[in-house]
Structure 1
Amino acid sequence: MVSDQIEREVLIDAPVERVWSLVTEAEHVGRWFGDAGAEIDLRPGGAMVMRWSEHGTSHGRVEAVEPPHRFAYRWAPFSHPLGDEPVEGNSTLVEFTLTADGDGTLLKVRETGFADLALTAPEQTAAHEGNTRGWRMELDDLVAYAKQQSAVR
């Protein structure tokens, strides 16, 4: 049976408000998360599009916007045709929780719903394993991006 969730956390050397911007504004998400741009309608029910030069495009739907501490969205795997509305059964739920930690921010990411994907068990496992590796890399990229943005300011 596939594990249903991925949980990761990382300490970012930037205040909560700054990290909030980095995880919710398309101009930033399209650089550290996707490498080929992003679009985010930052309101519950708003559409998201994230692009990678190597992986293609993924569509999402904003679920929660609670500045500056919680942001959640549902996103469809790359294998679904473009335009699929992300709903339970074809998508997972990603939740970012931001908490002040001294001068920095503890960012927790939780992705759930792998066991509910309308895929075979091996495909569910592959999706979970791929996203587990992906979050490790993407959060490392976010830490580096936050440091780079701090240096620019």
Structure 2
Amino acid sequence: MLARTEKMADDELVIERVFDAPVALVWRIWSDPEHLKRWFGPADFTCPVFELDFREGGTYRAMIHADKYGDSWFGGTFAQIRPNEKIVMSFAWEEGSGETHDTTITVTFAEKDGRTVQRFRQAPFPDVESRDSHYDGWSECLDKGLAYGERLAGEA
């Protein structure tokens, strides 16, 4: 289990995780709504709803929940899907979240020495403060995904 963050521009965030799991398994936890519901969201959040039409031009809509914050809805459209390699999708919080800008998320997957390198990039952000607030949430979310993926790999 390895977590790494690289230097970022002011309007983007980039987070990398390395899984002790094959790329096909890591891909599956990103492309199957039943898997996404089990790990998606920051540390104190659950993800009771994840609707997914996983194809180019397809959409997704999900809700994360924390007792302290309530429900937060978000969604977007898949612009590019290359199985076991890359997902490109738009991302926007729904009304009432306090966030008013759309971003693009790109997640890449590469197998290296029996492990999977997952690189997450989101941009553009309107300012560093918005980027940094998303960084904290995404880091926790991706840590949960890493733990979930490695647990599944251990059960295989």
What TM-score comes out, normalization by structure 1 length? 0.80
Runs of 5+ in structure 2 lacking a partner? Answer: 1-8
Determine if contact 1:29/1:37 at 8 Å carries over to the other structure.
no
SS in 2 for 1:75: strand
> 2: CA distance between counterparts of 1:33 and 1:9?
16
Say which SS state the counterpart of residue 4 (structure 1) adopts. Answer: coil
Corresponding position of 1:17: 24
Q: Which residue of 1 aligns with 2:5?
A: none
The percentage of counterpart residues that share the same residue type is: 24
When the two structures are aligned, how many residues end up with a matched partner?
137
1:37-62, Cα deviation, whole Å (9 max, x unpaired) = 31111111211012111242112111
Letter in 2 for 1:101: K
Name the one with the larger helix percent: 1
Answer whether contact 2:73 2:93 (CA < 8 A) is retained. no
Structure 1: state its 5+ residue gaps: 83-88, 116-123
> Is contact 1:27-1:37 (8 Å) kept?
no
1:32, CA displacement in angstroms? 1.0
More strand by share: 2
- Quote the RMSD (CA, aligned, Å): 2.0
Counterpart residue type for residue 58 of structure 2: G
Aligned-pair CA distance for 1:126: 3.7
CA distance in 2, matches of 1:26, 1:74: 17
Deviation at 1:90, TM superposition (A): 3.0
Aligned residues of 1:7 and 1:111 also touching (Cα < 8 A): yes
Q: Distance in 1 between matches of 2:77 and 2:143?
A: 24
Cα distance in 2 for residues equivalent to 1:69 and 1:42? 14
Please give the secondary structure, in 1, of the residue aligned with 2:34: helix
The answer to which of 100-109 and 21-30 deviates more is 21-30
The aligned counterpart of 1:91 is: 102
Q: Specify the SS of the correspondent of 1:76.
A: strand
Secondary structure at 2:133's aligned position in 1?
A: helix
For residue 92 of structure 2, the aligned residue among 76, 80, 84 is 76
Query: Where does residue 65 of structure 2 map in the other structure?
Result: 53
After superposition, residues 117-132 of structure 1 pair within 5 angstroms as 124-132=127-135
